[in-house]
Amino acid sequence: MIKMNKSAIFHQSHDQWQAVVSVNEVEIRLTSGKDIRSVKIVYGDPHLGELTPAGWRWKSTGQTLLLAYETEHSYIWKTILTPENRRLKYHFILQSDDEILQFGEDGFTPIDEEVGLWNNFFLPYLHQSQQFNAPSWVKNTIWYQIFPERFFNGDRSNDLEGTLAWHRGPVSNKERYGGDIAGIIEKLPYLSDLGISGIYLTPVFESVTTHKYDTRNYFAIDPSFGTEQDLIELVKKAHQLNIKVMLDAVFNHCGADFPYWMDVKKHKEASEYKDWFHIKSFEPFAYETFSFDKNMPKLNLSNPDTKQYFIEVAKFWIEKADIDGWRLDVANEIDPSFWIDFRKEIKTVKKDCYILGEVWHDSMQWLRGERFDAVMNYPLGRSIIDFALGKIDSTQFRYRMDKAFAHYPSKVSEVQFNLLDSHDTARLRNILKHDIRRVELAFALLLISFGSICIYYGSEVAMEGEYDPDCRRCMVWDPNKDELAFLKRFKRLIALRNQYFCLRNNSKWQWRETGDLLVIERSNEHQSVWMFVNTSDHPLPISIEKYVPDPKDAFTGRPHATVVNILPKQYIFIAQ
């Protein structure tokens, strides 16, 4: 007899393993090894039972968990429960080929023994405040990230001396090309036609640099970008096109010319703002910075005055311009308690304001409902990139994607900010070695993922660029023949996501094949869309009827050939 792999079995009564998803529902997950064949949960109200000749006996019921995700070494099982009286006591019954055991908070119990009180998990009471609440509009949003200085020059009157002519090709961070808010306003119809429903702007506040992550004045738009009124107009016109607007909050550090920092440099220990920063010593003068950049002194948001100042900054732009969200730069380097107060005050001003943290790694501690609504989901993007690049096969791709999906409660995954590249990375085309088929495949996989989706400006024409500053080139507004062809295909992918609800959230993701042919089904109770991908380096003939009777082209709705030959790294979408 092969013993059950007990060391692989895991559950906790919080985070993604026990997550309140509504006022009366809780999502339960359990992780096991791949030797487990079934998992059942035994649950009930901890105070509900009946007297028997043997004494008081707890009243419980059972429910089978669904095998929801598979990673390289684990199965992840889940179910949704509606606890009677909002109270929950539970344990699990796990079955392998040779064993059946009960599992609870204190360990394992033979199947023929009663599980003791201390060996159960509990949800003492389901409070509405435990429910993860993010703005409902986010989960259907397709974001478009704009680096304003390089997007479009719509007002030459605010160009600084030395502004260069718009051009293709490499740029430096010191070069200025005149992109501004007026240019974004002028291109709103273009973004709407592309299918975009949210724009995220990197910093727009007064700063001496082109990137503006070193702010001088948080209450003023940089003059080279326009005016406060320009931002108000941008948001108003974007809203008329059903496009949300999110700004970038750089609260971890400021610029070297931030007035309060200049006061500290001048007056040292006598400055009334000395506690606004992380000063190591005044003689010699030493202080903490972002990275090791001496022009970006680190702010001390544990200080009450500093904390309130930056909360007021965030509230000001919501009230003044009606923005819809804040992306929080270097969010995990800031005192976590600041974000608790930040969220409370921001949500008071605008309840459905999206609060997005820049965190590149595991972020569960930030996503428990008291700080952020979401983080920038780089791990999911890296999984797609590694697959498109050929670094992992389709089976490994499944494991990586399932790991990303399972890492957070489903309500969190629905609003995660999923992206493939940004102003902080090389552009996708360069990452994928200029193979346009791979670039298109990566975007196709991104656009069928759970969560909200972000596209970096110029991705729709497969712009080039290595790491900063090369990834911040001028937007291509004169696409050539190949770029126009890519743009046409890209727009079809966005339109597909916007057309089919099952490609977004509140739907299933099922892996139907993971070999040379990758087959993914995305479905809900009303729709089903299948993606077929040839992962090999040779053409692959397939019979679509084997998977989808009466197949239809998902793009056109017209009948699709039942036998097709898919080229390497090519994909097709079939609707049912």
In this prediction, residue 54 carries a pLDDT of: 77
Q: Is 345 left (phi over 0), alpha (psi -120 to 50) or beta?
A: alpha
Instruction: Delineate the domains of the chain, giving CATH numbers in brackets.
Output: 6-130 (2.60.40.10), 140-252+303-499 (3.20.20.80), 253-298 (3.90.400.10), 508-575 (2.60.40.1180)
Contact 546, 535 (CB under 8 A): no
Contact between residue 139 and residue 464 where contact means Cβ atoms under 8 Å apart: no
pLDDT in tens, 350-377: 999 999 999 999 999 999 999 999 999 9
pLDDT of residue 492: 97
Phi then psi for 158, rounded to 5 degrees?
-100, 10
| 59-111 per-position pLDDT tens digit | 999 999 999 999 999 999 999 999 989 999 999 999 999 999 999 999 999 99
What gap in Å lies between CA 418 and CA 142, rounded to an integer?
Answer: 10
User: 128 pLDDT band (50/70/90 cuts)?
Assistant: confident
Q: Check residue 320 and give its pLDDT.
A: 98
Write down the pLDDT at residue 209: 95
- Report d(CA 127, CA 26) in Å as an integer: 11
User: Which residue among the candidates 70, 214, 248, 358 is catalytic per the annotation?
Assistant: 358
Count of C-beta atoms within a 10 Å radius of residue 444? 22
State the Cα–Cα distance between residues 547 and 575, nearest whole angstrom.
11
d(CA 7, CA 32): 8
Instruction: Tell whether the model's pLDDT for residue 1 goes beyond 80.
Output: no
pLDDT for the residue 53:
82
Look at residue 2 in the predicted model and tell me its pLDDT: 81
Structural tokens at position 4: 């059950």
Region 455-476: mean pLDDT is 97
Q: What is the mean pLDDT of residues 332-352?
A: 97
For the question of residue 180 being annotated catalytic, the response is no
Average pLDDT over all residues of the chain: 96
Q: Is pLDDT at 478 greater than 80 in this prediction?
A: yes
Q: Which of 238, 86, 166, 251 is nearest to 478 (CA)?
A: 166
Catalytic residue among 70, 329, 373, 483: 329
The tokens of 157 are what? 């009157």
- The DSSP line for 309-368 is HHHHHHHHHHHHH---EEEETTGGGS-HHHHHHHHHHHHHH-TT-EEEE---S--GGG-S
Whole-number pLDDT of residue 392: 97
- 91: Cβ–Cβ under 8 A, 6 or more apart, which residues? 41, 42, 102, 103, 104, 105, 109, 115, 119, 120, 121
Residue 84's identity, in one-letter code, is: E
pLDDT for 568 equals: 94
- Confidence at residue 376, expressed as pLDDT on a 0 to 100 scale: 96
Distance CA 329, CA 192 (A): 27
**Beta strands 540-543 and 563-566, pairing class:** antiparallel
Q: Which value, to the nearest 10 degrees, does the dihedral of the CA atoms of residues 365, 366, 368, 372 take?
A: 180
Helix H or strand E encompassing 217 = strand 217-221
* Region of 285 on the Ramachandran plot (φ > 0 left; ψ -120 to 50 alpha; else beta): beta
pLDDT of residue 335: 95
* pLDDT score at 419: 97
Give the residue ranges of DSSP H helices in 334-478.
Answer: 336-349, 378-389, 394-406, 410-413, 428-431, 436-446
Q: What SS3 string covers 258-283?
A: CHHHHHHHHHHHHCCCHHHECEEEEC
Structure confidence by residue, pLDDT tens digits, 263-307? 999 999 999 999 999 999 999 999 999 999 999 999 999 999 999
Question: Is the Cβ–Cβ distance between 184 and 146 less than 8 Å?
Answer: yes
Structure tokens at 264: 């500290």
Concerning whether 358 is annotated as a catalytic residue, the answer is: yes
117 pLDDT higher than 90: no
- Indicate the pTM of the whole model: 0.95
